[in-house]
Structure 1
Amino acid sequence: MFDFFKKKKKEEAPQLEDLVLSKLRPGYLVERDLKVYTVTAQNRYEWEEGGVTDEWELQQGEEVWFLERVEDDGYAEWSLCQKLSIDEIEGDIAQHIIENEDPPEKVVCRGTTYHFECDDIGRFYRGNSTEEMHFVVWDFEDDAGKNYLTIEQWGESKFDITLGFPVEEYQFTNILPGPA
C-alpha cells in the first residue's frame, strides 16, 4: 500500500568477481600497455558452423580497438584488432570477391602476405539488439601464424577489413565499472 513512498532500489554496483575481461560492459574502463580504454560497445557474432564471438569496442581518444573472445572446447581465446580501409590490401580485392564470390588464396596488406585459412557465414548483433545482420567472413593468417586479417562482406558491395593478433587475458588490467 505504501510502496509509492519507498525509495527505488539503486542498481547494485558490480561485485569484485564481476570485474573480469569477459564481463566488460559499455562504460567500463580497462588498461592495456599503460593506456586506459573506455568500453564503448558490446556486440555478438553467431557463426553458421557453430560458435559465438563476443566483441567489445575499446576507445581511447581517436584510437579504436576491438577485443574479441571465442570459446573453444572450454578454453577462451582472445584477440585484439583494428579496422582498416579495404584500400590497404594490395589490388582490387572488393572487385575480385564480387566477380569470383571469394577472395584470392593470399592477400598482401601493409607489406605482409596473409594466407587464406577459413570462411564462414555469420549473424551480427549490435549491443543488446535482437536484430541480426548477415555477412560472410574470410580469415587469413601471416606466415608466422601470429597476425591475422579478416575480410567481411556485408551485402553485395560493402566490405570491412580488420587486422589483429592474439592477446592474453592477463594483458588487460585495472578493470573499473563505468558510471551507473
Structure 2
Amino acid sequence: MGFLDIFKKKNQEEQIHYDPTNIKIIDIRKGWLFDYEGKTWEVVEEFEYDWGDNIFTYEYKIQSGADTAYMFIEESEKVYCTFTNKIKFAKLGEEVEQHLLDYQKPPSQITYEGITFYRERESPGYFRSLEDEDSIEVILWEYFDDSETKILLIHQWDEGDFEASVGIVEEENVITNILPR
C-alpha cells in the first residue's frame, strides 16, 4: 500500500454521514449529545431492527446523569421519537403473561397505571446491536393510549422471554442542540 492509498483510505474514513449545517435527529449516532426536556442526553448504544422488505428502524440507549432511557426513531411522513423506560414485565399483571402463553400474543388492551393501552401493531423481525453482526429474532407489540401519545411496548425475545417498556411519542422538534462527537 503506497502513501496515496493510505491518504485515500483516511479520507474515506473521515467522510461524515450528515450535513454539519443541518444536523437532524435521524443523523444521531453513539457518542452524540442532545437536549430533551431540560437535560443533556448522550447516546451510549445503538440498535437496529430489521422488519424485512428493506425496512429498518433504530433505537438508542440514552443517558443523562443517573437516568437511562431508550429513544426509538421512526420515519414516515414525519419523524417521530419515542422515549421509553423499561418496566418489570410482571407489572403488566398475571393475565397479560397468561394471555401470551395461551394465545402467543398479548391481549388487545392492557391497563397500566390507570392508562388503557390498545394494541396497534405486531411486528416480527430481527434485532441487533450495531456493534454486533449477529441478529436475534424479536416480536414487538405496540400499544397506544387514546391520545396516541403514550406508548407501551412488549418485546418477545424467546418463547417465554418478554420485556416491557412505557413512554411517550414526540415529534422530532423536541430534540435540540444535537452535537456529534
Name the TM tier (shorter chain).
0.7 to 0.9
Matching residue of 2:139:
136
Residue 82 of structure 1 aligns with an amino acid whose one-letter code is N
What is the alpha-carbon distance in structure 1 between the residues aligned to residue 135 and residue 61 of structure 2?
18
Asked if 2 retains the 8 angstrom alpha-carbon contact of 1:49 and 1:120, the reply is no
Count residues in correspondence. Answer: 176
What is the alpha-carbon distance in structure 1 between the residues aligned to residue 64 and residue 113 of structure 2?
23
Shift of residue 78 of structure 1?
Answer: 2.4
User: How high is the TM-score relative to the length of structure 2?
Assistant: 0.83
What is the alpha-carbon distance in structure 2 between the residues aligned to residue 50 and residue 109 of structure 1?
34
Shift of residue 125 of structure 1?
Answer: 1.8
Residue 79 of structure 2 aligns with an amino acid whose one-letter code is A
Task: Describe the superposition over 1:25-57 as per-residue Cα deviations: whole angstroms up to 9, x where unpaired.
Answer: 111111112101111011111214773211121
Matching residue of 1:114:
117
Matching residue of 1:45:
49
What is the alpha-carbon distance in structure 2 between the residues aligned to residue 79 and residue 17 of structure 1?
25
> Which 10-residue stretch deviates more, 15-24 or 144-153?
15-24
Asked if 1 retains the 8 angstrom alpha-carbon contact of 2:149 and 2:170, the reply is no
Cα 1:2–1:53, aligned 2, differ >3 Å: closer, same or farther? closer
Unmatched segments (≥5 aa) in structure 1: none
Matched position secondary structure for 2:61: strand
Shift of residue 177 of structure 1?
Answer: 2.1
Asked if 1 retains the 8 angstrom alpha-carbon contact of 2:79 and 2:171, the reply is no
Shift of residue 156 of structure 1?
Answer: 1.3
Matching residue of 1:77:
80
Matched position secondary structure for 1:59: strand
User: How high is the TM-score relative to the length of structure 1?
Assistant: 0.83
Residue 48 of structure 2 aligns with an amino acid whose one-letter code is R
What is the alpha-carbon distance in structure 1 between the residues aligned to residue 92 and residue 2 of structure 2?
66
Matching residue of 1:165:
168
Across the aligned residues of Structure 1 and Structure 2, the Cα RMSD in angstroms comes to 2.7
Residue 164 of structure 2 aligns with an amino acid whose one-letter code is I
Unmatched segments (≥5 aa) in structure 2: none
Asked if 2 retains the 8 angstrom alpha-carbon contact of 1:114 and 1:142, the reply is yes
Asked if 2 retains the 8 angstrom alpha-carbon contact of 1:80 and 1:165, the reply is yes
Residue 177 of structure 1 aligns with an amino acid whose one-letter code is P
Matching residue of 2:31:
27
Matching residue of 1:153:
156
